[in-house]
Each structure stands twice: as structure tokens, then as C-alpha cells.
Structure 1
Amino acid sequence: MATYRKKPVEIEARQLTPDSHQSISLWVASAGYNVMRAVTGLVIETLEGDMRADYGDWIIKGVSGEFYPCKPDIFAATYEPVEGGAA
């Protein structure tokens, strides 16, 4: 069996909080994706269908411009800040 390593890629991501809710909604919608407000987060149109993002989750803009939510523990295990990148 062959083994593979995930290519290093840089992505844009923002953590969903009550304070960032509006700006993230506008960010996703400005790229042409549907986003709906949920009681404790957002529902985002993704390539795999509508996905719920709760407060604390990260919203990722992928390499093809697609959006999807990511749980904080998975985000921390998968991504690290880029030096000189915008926070």
C-alpha cells in the first residue's frame, strides 16, 4: 500500500463567535454561498450540502474558494498560523 502526505496549503479561516457572526455571514455570502442564521451559529451551503457551524467552530475558505465549518479540535490538529499572515 502506498502512503501519502497532505500537501501544505494556506487557507483563510475565521472563528465563529457571537461577535464575528455578522462579518462571517457577509464573508461567506460575498462569495456567492448561501448562509442562514441558526440559534447558536450558522448554516452554510457547502459542496456536500448544508452544514451547521456552532459558535467556536472555524469557518474555512478552501483552496477552490469553497466554505465549510471545522470543529476547534480538528482545526487545531490540522492547521497552524502562517508567519506574517493576517490574524
Structure 2
Amino acid sequence: MPRYRKRPVEIDAHQWHQNGDHPQDGPANREGQVVRYFRRPEPEYSGQTAHDLCGHIWHDHGWIDTLEGGHTVCPGDWIITGVQGEFYPCKPDIFAATYELVEG
């Protein structure tokens, strides 16, 4: 089976913890353009219910539109700017295993 290596590409990334953390989103007291408020009408996503994967309540989450559709952003996720200027979330453990800080 052929094997492939990911091309070395430098990216911009910012760790997100709450509204306003992404530099293109502005102050935390309003909805951002990159990471929006998390909104779901179903009762299992009510504001004070904890997310099974990260343990934070749903009210503390964000939502991001990607080229593949929308994704939930958990506190601590990294927001990566893709090669076409798109944004997408990445879990901290995947980010640490995939990327390293560029010096200089």
C-alpha cells in the first residue's frame, strides 16, 4: 500500500476558551464572526447540561462553520486557519500531535 506524508504547511491557530478569544471575533460580549454562539433547540443541549466529550456545559461552547459543515467548538479547542482561509476546530491532543510552534 502506498504511504503519504503531510506536506509541511505553516498555519495560523488560536486556542479558544470563550467568546471573543479568536482575534477576528472582537469582544466576548457579542457573537463572533469566526466562532459563533452554540445554539441547538433540543433539550439535551440546554445551557447547563454537560457535554459528554469535554465535560463543559453547552452554554460554554461555540459553533464554527467549516467547508464540511458546522462543528461544535469546545473550550480549549484550537481554531486553525486552513490553506484556503477557512476556519476549523481541532482538539488539543490532535493539535499537539500534529503541529509544532514555528520559531522566528
The alignment of Structure 1 onto Structure 2 pairs a total of residues equal to 78
**More strand per residue:** 1
Runs of 4+ in 1 over 4 A off after TM superposition: none
Q: 1:16 touches 1:41 (CA, 8 Å); kept in 2?
A: no
Partner of 1:22: 20
Q: How does 1:29-68 map to 2 (within 5 A)?
A: 29=33, 35-38=35-38, 39-68=59-88
Identity %, equivalent residues = 54
CA deviations on 1:21-79 (whole Å, 9 max, x unpaired) are: 314161772xxx6x421311210011111101111000000111111000000000000
CA deviations on 1:4-26 (whole Å, 9 max, x unpaired) are: 110000010000113xx314161
Structure 2 unaligned segments of length 5 or more: list them: 27-31, 39-58
With structure 1 as the length reference, what TM-score do the two structures score? Answer: 0.79
Partner of 1:5: 5
| Alignment root-mean-square deviation, CA | 1.8
**More helix per residue:** 1
Structure 1 unaligned segments of length 5 or more: list them: none
Q: Which amino acid aligns with 2:5?
A: R
Displacement after TM superposition at 1:3 (Å) = 1.1
Q: Which has the larger radius of gyration?
A: 2
